[in-house]
Structure formats: C-alpha cells, structure tokens
Structure 1
C-alpha cells in the first residue's frame, strides 16, 4: 500500500515536471541523477543497506548500550562518507560537468551537490535505525510524508525556476528526508562520542568492507546506464531522446516493477530460509515463476493498449515517442517474470563470486546491445536491446544455476513459460503489423484470451472461489 501511494505521488509530480521541463529538461534530470548515483555508488559503500543490517543484528539484544554504541559508530561513518562524496563532487565538478552534459557550464551543479552528499549520508544513518528496528508503521509514515513534501516542493521549484531548478530540487529533497528521519528517530541518541581513530577503525572496518563489496555491482550498473545515456545524448544534442528513454524506463521499472517488488517482499525471505535445500529452492522458484507469468502477461498485453494514453496522462503528448521503445521493450517484462525468481538463487546461496559475474554479465550485455542497436535502429533499437538482454541474461543465469545448484524447470513451468512467451510474441506481431484501429481490436481480443487463461491457471493453484470467500468472511 505504501508503494502504491508513493507511486501515485510520483505520477502527479512527474506530470508537472513534464509540463515545466519537457523532454529536454527530463533528459537533463536523468543525466544528473545518473551522475549523482555513480558518485553515491563509489563513495557511499551501500551505507543504508549495511547500516540497516548492523542495527537489525542487535535489535533483539536487551543491551541498550550496544544499540547506542552502534548508532554512534554509524553517525561517525556518516560524517566520513558524506565528506568523501562531497570532496569527489567538489574536486571533479568541472570534469563531471563536461562528461555529463558536454559542457563545463553546469559545474556549479556539482559544487552544490557536495551539500547533498553530506545531508543524505546523515539521513541514511537515521533511516537505517527505522529499517533496522523493523518499525514498519513509522517507516511507512516517514516515506509517505517525505514523498508528499518532496513532490509538492518539486512542483513549486520547477514552476518558478524551470531547468535551473533541477539542482535545487535535489537539494530540497535531501533536506526534507533529513528533517523527517531526524523527527522519526528523535528517541535515539544523536550524541557524538569522543573520536578515537583506532576504535573507529576496529568498529567500522568490517562494515566498510561489506559495503564495498556490495557497492561494486551497483557501481558497474550505474556506469553502464550512464555510458548508454551519454551515447544517446551525442555530446548534448539528443537530450530529447534521453527524455523519451527515461520515460520508458520509469514505466518499465517503477510502475510495472511494482509487481516484482510486491513478490520479492514475500519470496526473498521464504527463499532465504530454505537456501541450503536445493530441491526446496527449485520448488519455490518454479512456483514463483508460474505465479509471476500468470500475473504479468495479461498486464503487459493490456499495456500495449493503454501505454500511449498513460504516457500522455502521466507526462505530455511530447513524450509520445517513448512508445516506440515500449512497443518492443514491454515483452522484456515477460522475460523478467521468468528470470527474476531465478536470479535470487545465487543471492540467497551467498556465492559472492557468482553474484558478481551475474551482475557483470548483465551490465556488459545491456551496454553493448543498447549502444549498437540504438546506433542502427534508433528508439526501436533500445526496445530491442531490452528484449535481447533479457534473453541472453536469462540463458546465462539459467545455465549457471543449473550447473551449480541443479536447478531446472518443472514440466508445468515449461508449459507456462512457452505459452506466455508465445502470447507476448503475438502481441508484438500485432503491434507492428496492423494500423492503430485494428491493432487495438486484436490486442483487446488477445488480452481477453490471456486474462482468461491466467485466471484458469491461477484457479488451479489457489482455488479463487474459496480464496475470495475466505477474504470476505475475514473482513466481516
């Protein structure tokens, strides 16, 4: 529910951003966000994740001094990490401006970003307390308030400052999150204990090492995305294309990604508890693939009908060209429904080497395909790259888990995979073969067929009639 509410706020915010900035402005936002993410990945050591883990590890302890000691250490780490990010942004501001935008005119943006890294580092230290203590209610309220205030401020800033407001939106968002996390963690001490370098090194070294390893994959992924956008930008002449690309990514990852995020909340913990039993892992992953396909495929077919309207509704008619990417890229979501559960196997097994190879392979393939296919086919090539990346990555990861963990598809899973991939391919054939009027008719028919098939398969697994009546009785 929290994710849905945040998405709704994001949709409203995106609409105004699109109105005030247009495709070119959104392209600038995308490039700056990507550059910021790279600096964060390099200097941040996945601080929020590892800090959350540290708090969670002592959550059950009755020793209050242990929690206070951990929080104090994390706050000192926040100072180091924040200053590290600020120094990188300050010292390389001119270079970063040139590589990101093809000009040094935006150097002042990266100078101002130094403040963002310091504030965000402190926010992460406080947010880690909420997440580590597993205070779900307070965390949900915190996120919703932050999303609402950020969206409201974003609209106002862009209204008055337009493109020059981009950097101020980033700074404003960081300040909002900091103040809110401070308020919701006010019960936990913010006192800084005397600094002892030897003691700090001893306490923080294991956390930094873990964070460094976790950040490697993130760094590679962010650099890959950044290079793709720089290539598309063509020295600053194609910001409009980046705007189209960004919209397609938002729809594929942020909106349709809700399905996968919702599944992961339940799937990942369950898989972790049985990670040592390969047969149970195989059973659960196969079940998850089946459910994912049943839910995702009708949604993707429906998106072929409503995506052009959603683009105009969420953004403006100027972004309609984004559908040229989505026409092909939507099929990659069906592939992701198969690959996504399999990808968790290496993660829960804790095989760091294989996990690194897995991420590296995906990033390199995505980088090569996106650049080469965009060069030859333009926006269509970006969509095709998403599909081929899903195919190659899927084959690679399947062969890897099959070899190391004896994973394979059950016969029922194979049948579902083949049928749903066929439905997706038929959708693509219809979209590229017919004029708009006939396309909508045939896609609508295909959606009905896909929805009925999914309902039939879902009913086999959970008995929908019993499930619904049970839910109704509980509410009574």
Structure 2
C-alpha cells in the first residue's frame, strides 16, 4: 500500500509542474473566482436594495472588524501549514503526513479558542472603536464564534491545499458562494438589519462544515496536545506570524494613504481611488487566485534550490503572464463601458488611474511567483523584508503621485512602485535563492508588456471609432500571441479535441 502511495506521489510530482497542469488549475480557480465575482455582484445588489446604504455600511463594518481580529489571532496557519503538509506529501511518508496534519489541527483549534475568547473580552472596546453610535457589544459577543469557525476553516483548507486536493477546494468554494446568496438575502428580507449577525454566523458555519466534511473524509480526525506537537508547530507559527505582520504592514499602509487622501482631497477622491484599486485587484484575482491554492503547495514540496525550483517558478510566471495579458488589454479598452455599468458615469474620472494600475499588473504577474519562493523556503525574514520594503515604497510613491498628477498620478505611482518592486525582488531572489528568469519567459513577457503599453497609449490619445478599432486590434494581438505560445507549450488544440471526442464516444 505504501509503495503505491509513493509511486502515485512521484507520478504527481512529474506532472504537477507541467504547463498543462498550471493552465488547468489556473482556469479552474479563475472560473471559480469569476463565478464568485458574479454571485457577489448579484448578492450585493440585492442586499443594497433590501438594507440600503446604512445596512451595507453595517455589514462592511462587522466584516472588516471580524477580519482584523481573525487575522491577528490565527497565527497565519492557513498559509504556513501548507508548506509543512506539502513537504510530507513529497517525501511520501504517510505516517509523517498524518502527524503533521494532527499538529495543524491542534494549533488551529487553539487559535480558534484564543480568537473567540479575545473577541468576547474585547467586545466593549471593539464596539467603541468601530462605531460612533449605540452599543454593539452584544453583537460582537455573538460574532465571536465566527472567529473560531474561520480559524478551523483556515486550518482544514491548508490541509486540502497542502494535500493537493484542489477540486475539493473549488467545490467547497462554489457551494459556499451559493449558500451565502441563498442564506443572507432571505434573512435580510424578513429581518432587515437584525439579520446581519445571524447571516454572518451561518455563512461562516456552512463554510467550516463543508471544509471539514471534505478534509475529514480524506484525512481522519486527529488531535494531540502533547509537548512534541507544540514544539513541532513552532516553525509553522513563526512563518505564519510573518504572514500576519506583512498583512498588518499592508493594512497600515492602505489606512495611512486613505486617511491622507481624505484630508487633502476629500471623501469623493478616496471613493474613486478605492473603487479603482479594488476593481483592478478583484478582476486580476481570477488569474492570481490559483497561486495560493495550487502553485504555493507545489513550490513548497521542492526541497532544494536549483533546476526544479527555477523551472516551476518560470513556468508559473509564463502561464500567468500569457493568460492575464489579453484580459488586461481588454479591460483597459472597455473601461468607458464597464465603469458606468458597474457604478455610474461619476466614476469615469478614475479611468486614467485604472489604466496605469492595469499596466502594473503585468509586473505583478511576474512578482508574485518569485515572492512565494521565500514563503516556500520558510524564510520569514526575507518575506517580511520584501513586504516591508514594498509598502514603504507604495506609501511614499502614491502620495507623491497624488501631489504631482492627481488621481491619474496615483495610478502612475502604483506602476512605478510595482516596477521598482519587480527589480528589487528579481535581484534579491537571484542572490538569495539562485533563481533566474529564463530567456523565453523574459521575451514573452516583454512582448505582452509592449502590447499593453501601446494599448494604454491608444486609450489615452484616441477617441470615437478609432479608439474602439485600435482597442480591438490590440486585444486580438495579445490574445493570439498568448494562444500561439500556450498551444506550443501544452498542445492545447489536441488536448481539447481528444477531450471532446472522448465525451462524444461515451454518448
């Protein structure tokens, strides 16, 4: 039995880093993320109609406070545990794997209890800090079990990611989205704002139950509170805390920036900047969402620096750039239609900022796979250094960009910051981990960046029919280039034809 397990593990290792595998799971999680966005739009629209702006604000405040408490008390286990589990999978040691899973579950349970008790204890202060009116202490006490549920869910999701059970993760995500829609809307309709707290709890409970159901079916329940388990979890906690601290850096930088813009420009500019930034990140997450679920576990399973690690990172970069590039050009060109559709014509002034921010996403597609190298090695200091350096640059450059060029200047600053971060990360990982970008990846990335730059220039300089004509040409050029390279790498058409004929024969 163990020999079969090792053989399967080795076969998976050979296939997991192929272009076809990367393309498959980028498409899978991209599709799930796209569905998430669509269901989220429908849900937000219905909730906005039922609760109005005040109710939406209340939901946002509760959710953001829960996120802060959860992120501060879960020790980053949802991220750091993936590395330990992936390493056990690659070693083919089933006994060690179940031992590591027991450690993860034990620490997840402890952080769940810690987070819940801390939320209860801090409820009066959370009410005062979050709201300037009324007493919401009881609401936060009732929401404290949500912190525990999120911690347990994070640990079990890490087990699924580390164990490479990606289809199970996708299924859980889809079911959770559908339940969130079917649960929250009726509660809000019948109970109004009184249904907000129950809906948040029920959604967290459903997500936890679904994740546990899949995880426990694959790996039997196991907990241990021995000293050995606590000691073995220390490395995982150190890496997780680095992830938490990096998140605090990011939240702090965003808070300072929004406060600055609010003081010097007003709430309308804050709203435009935030909408443009969030919309860009949400759109591109359709490609980037697969990195945490699929790429990071694969990278963590590679024990040594060198050829295999370089190959894995280069292939992830190449597929990410080729998939996201046509999407960026299309989105850049279609902003005059998309913004009034999603928001209103009052949001059109953020077009310039968004176009330049979309250009920055080319470099983000290269940066992210390289930044995961430090996490996959358990190198918390390098990860923190890179994150801290980025957020310092981000804050200084965006403030300078606003002073020099207004809202569009903030987009230019985001582009400059991302390019500078790309160069810094590239030099650092070359020095620290002996990683280098392959010639093919550099060439293909430069071609797509050039097409993006030309498209961006056209969107700033052209109007009318010429705008749409050249926009269509640039989108098509980027798409055809990506298809040609992906076809050469994956034999895309043959794979699609074989799959079609197999289904046809079954019928």
TM-score between the two structures when normalised by the length of structure 1:
0.79
Indicate the residue corresponding to 1:124 in structure 2: 151
Correspondent of 2:425 among 394, 397, 401: 397
In structure 2, stretches of 5+ residues that fail to align are: 1-27
> What residue in structure 1 maps to residue 246 of structure 2?
217
3-state SS of 1:105 partner: coil
Q: Are 1:38 and 2:68 an aligned pair?
A: yes
CA distance in 1, matches of 2:436, 2:132: 54
Q: Cα offset for 1:168?
A: 6.1
Report the CA distance between 1:404 and its aligned residue. Answer: 1.9
User: What's the CA shift for 1:303?
Assistant: 0.8
Cα distance between partner residues in 2 of 1:52 and 1:275: 14
Q: In structure 1, what is the Cα distance between the partners aligned to 2:291 and 2:102? A: 34
Contact 2:188 2:195 in 1 (8 A): no
Pairwise CA distance, 1:394: 0.4
1:407 partner SS: coil
What aligned pairs does 1:308-347 form with structure 2 within 5 A after superposition?
308-347=336-375
Shift of 1:440: 1.7
Aligned to 2:181: 151
The Cα shift of 1:302 comes to 0.9
Contact 1:252 1:330 in 2 (8 A): yes
Looking at structure 1, the residues matched to 310 and 85 of structure 2 have their Cα atoms a distance apart, in angstroms, of: 32
Q: What CA deviation, in whole Å up to 9, does each residue of 1:43-99 have, x standing for no partner?
A: 3322544677889979955999998897566434422222223434532543x34xx
| Separation of aligned partners in 1, 2:412 and 2:143 | 36
Whether the 8 Å CA contact 2:84–2:100 is kept in 1: the answer is no
Question: Among residues 180, 204, 224, which one is paired with 1:177 in the alignment?
Answer: 204
C-alpha change, 1:108 and 1:245, in structure 2 (3 Å) is farther
Q: Which TM-score applies when normalising by structure 2?
A: 0.75
C-alpha displacement at 1:382, in angstroms?
2.8
Three-state SS of the structure 1 residue aligned to 2:318 is: helix
CA distance in 2, matches of 1:341, 1:27: 35
Question: Counterpart of 2:493?
Answer: 465
Number of residue pairs aligned between Structure 1 and Structure 2: 463
The 5 Å alignment of 1:356-371 reads: 356-371=384-399
Can you list the C-alpha shifts for 1:110-141, whole angstroms capped at 9, x where unaligned? Answer: 77345434322234325634652667666545
After TM superposition, the structure 1 = structure 2 runs for residues 37-436 of structure 1, keeping only pairs within 5 Å, are 37-49=67-79, 60-61=94-95, 71=105, 74-91=108-125, 93-94=127-128, 96-97=129-130, 105-106=132-133, 108=135, 112-126=139-153, 128-129=155-156, 132=159, 140-155=170-185, 165=193, 169=196, 172-179=199-206, 181-182=208-209, 185=212, 209=238, 211-234=240-263, 237-238=266-267, 240-262=268-290, 265-436=293-464
Provide the rounded CA distance (Å) in 2 between the counterparts of 1:68 and 1:283.
32
| Whole-angstrom distance in 1 between the partners of 2:140 and 2:389 | 31
Q: Secondary structure at the match of 2:437?
A: coil
Would you say the 8 A contact 1:13–1:155 is kept in 2? yes
Instruction: Name the CA distance, whole Å, in 1 between partners of 2:439 and 2:411.
Output: 30
How far off its partner does 1:22 sit? 8.7
- Measured at CA, do residues 341 and 176 of structure 1 come closer, stay the same or move farther in structure 2, by a change above 3 Å? closer
Conservation of the 8 A alpha-carbon contact between 2:70 and 2:151: no
Structure 1 residues 31 and 438, CA, compared in 2 at 3 Å: closer, same or farther?
farther
- Superposition CA RMSD, Å: 4.3
What does the per-residue CA deviation read over 1:144-199, in whole Å, with 9 as the maximum and x for residues that have no partner? Answer: 3332232345556777999xx5x9646622332225534774789xx9x9xx9999
**Is 1:9 matched with 2:39?**
yes
Partners in 2 of 1:443 and 1:281 — Cα distance? 38
The CA distance in 1 between the partners of 2:252 and 2:115, in whole Å, is 20
Mapped to 2, the partners of 1:265 and 1:333 lie a distance apart of: 20
Q: 1:369 to 1:169 in 2, by over 3 A?
A: farther
Q: Deviations over 1:408-434 (max 9, x none)?
A: 333333322322221111122111112
CA distance in 2: counterparts of 1:408 and 1:421, whole angstroms = 19
Q: Secondary structure at 1:378's aligned position in 2?
A: helix
2:103 touches 2:233 (CA, 8 Å); kept in 1? no
Q: Structure 1 unaligned segments of length 5 or more: list them.
A: 98-103
